[in-house]
Amino acid sequence: MNFYDNRPANPNPVPDDAPVYVISAAAELSGLHPQTLRQYDRLGLVSPDRAAGRGRRYSVRDIERLREVQRLSQDEGVNLAGIKHIRGLQDEVSELRSRVAELEAALAAVAATTIPVALPAHAPQAQPQQVVPQQAHNPLLPALPAFGRSTALVVWRPQQH
């Protein structure tokens, strides 16, 4: 229940990226003229979803972007081409952050299901008068995936001839 009235709180609020506002409502919420919104759409600065009749439908996120475009243009003096470039870079950073989070999660999953193997890697034989640089990493073989909870250890001894 909401503190100020007796209505229950909305358990399913509308997501920020849900296309709900027609162009007139989006123009009013953003403080811009509808023609400005159409121009920004043509330039690719803010691209709203389209309804079945091809009418634009703006989301809360789109309206925030419209305000940001207007702020950069009016307050910062950035031209529309510069704003488009900035938006592209911001979108790319967002995508890269998402990808890094995915890779970190995958790496954590691999780390949680591996057993480190402490076997020395074979170093190449040095030629006379040739200096082999020291390896900066630990000369261990990569970790092997653990299957189940087994702690079995297998020892291999080559046959002697």
Longest dimension (CA), the chain: 90
CA distance 45 to 101: 27
CA distance 132 to 111: 31
Report phi then psi at 56, rounded to 5. -70, 140
Residue-wise pLDDT tens digits, 4-59: 555 556 565 777 777 788 999 999 999 999 999 999 999 999 989 887 887 889 99
Handedness of CA 134, 136, 138, 140 (dihedral sign): negative
What secondary structure does DSSP assign to 46-69, as a single string? S--EE-TTS-EEB-HHHHHHHHHH
On whether the pTM is more than 0.85, the answer is: no
Residue-wise pLDDT tens digits, 65-120: 999 999 999 999 999 999 999 999 999 999 999 999 999 999 988 888 877 665 55
For residue 69, the tally of other CB atoms under 10 A from its CB is: 24
SS3 37: helix
The strand pairing partners of 145, in sequence order, are 114
CA angle 62, 29, 36 (to 5 degrees): 70
